[in-house]
Amino acid sequence: MDAPIEPIEREGVFADKSLYSHDVFLSSAPYGPITLVQPKKGFRAGSDAIFLAMAQAFPEDSHILDVGCGAGLAALTALSANKNIKITGLEKQEFYADTARHNAEINRFSDSFSVVQGDIKNALTLFPPDFFTHILTNPPYYAEGAGRKSPLQEKSISHQAEDISLKIWIRSALSVLKNHGTIMTILRTERLSDMLEALMGRAGGIVIFPLFSREDQNTAKRVIVKATKASKTPPSLRKGITIHDGDSNAYSAHAKQVINGGAFLGI
């Protein structure tokens, strides 16, 4: 196992700890831990990005597109847990694209993590068709007009789709995915029907993996969905994972392993 990567300390705007937090993740990852710089106000990455990136192990030489990469936590998680992979981040907001590039640099992943600023609607003008081997994406949680809108523009754009449906988001992403490549997404359970509609006729082998907050809850608020482009395999529903123990906010043993980068969900 290679030695963990130590982050580079760099002066500049991101060093202002009154505006930015410097959070450490993935203490058990083979090529971690990582330091994630992100704004104290606005959209902040957390466990969803890690669960998404740790959903499956990626073969060496995979080229992954992270759609809506934000500050880069999902991409950095995948790089910290997998050997010899390459990730391209696609981020609509210039601020977060710059933040993701900074995080790639301070964690010494600049050679394997590049960031393109752009809109997923324009995927085929940004990338060749059938180009990536895998896709990770954490689309906005709410459809346009749904949910409570944040007064902070950066957070609002990340949480709510303003000018794009989930169907267009997913189908645009699939247009630059190789046949038999996988797309992995995490979303609110209430948007599952929209997700299945977006995948219809374009991807199969759909796996639905619930994320239960606690053991005594019968309903999962979030799900991870994996699909394989051009596959005809029937869908399947997995047992899922319970994230917290009892009534506390402590992670369950399995969730803690995943969050720290020491185990994959194996979806």
In a structure prediction context, what are the per-residue pLDDT tens digits for the chain, which is 267 residues long?
455 556 656 667 787 888 899 999 999 999 999 999 999 988 899 999 999 999 999 999 999 999 999 999 999 999 999 999 999 999 999 999 999 999 999 999 999 999 999 999 999 999 999 999 999 999 997 666 654 544 555 544 444 456 899 999 999 999 999 999 999 999 999 999 999 999 999 999 999 999 999 988 889 999 999 999 999 999 999 999 999 988 788 999 999 999 999 999 999
Torsion angle defined by CA atoms of residues 52, 96, 59 and 171, in that order, rounded to the nearest 10 degrees: 70
Cβ density class 86-109: b for 16+ within 10 Å, e for less = bbbbbbbbeebbbbbbbbbebbbb
Strand, coil or helix: what is 219?
Answer: coil
pTM for the structure as a whole: 0.89
Strand, coil or helix: what is 181?
Answer: strand
Strands (E), the chain: 20-25, 34-39, 63-67, 86-91, 113-117, 132-137, 177-188, 203-212, 222-229, 236-237, 241-242
Q: 162 vs 108, 122, 159, CA distance in Å?
A: 34, 15, 9
201 Cβ contact list (under 8 Å, min separation 6): none
pLDDT recorded at residue 179: 98
Cα 259–8–75 angle (5° rounding)?
A: 40
pLDDT recorded at residue 160: 47
Element containing residue 127 per DSSP (H, E): none
Report how far apart the first and last C-alpha atoms of the chain are (Å, whole number). 24
pLDDT recorded at residue 143: 65
pLDDT recorded at residue 246: 80
pLDDT recorded at residue 10: 60
Distance of CA 123 to the CA centre of its chain: 17
pLDDT recorded at residue 159: 46
109 Cβ contact list (under 8 Å, min separation 6): 5, 76, 79
Q: Let me know: does 75 contact 100? Beta carbons within 8 Å.
A: yes
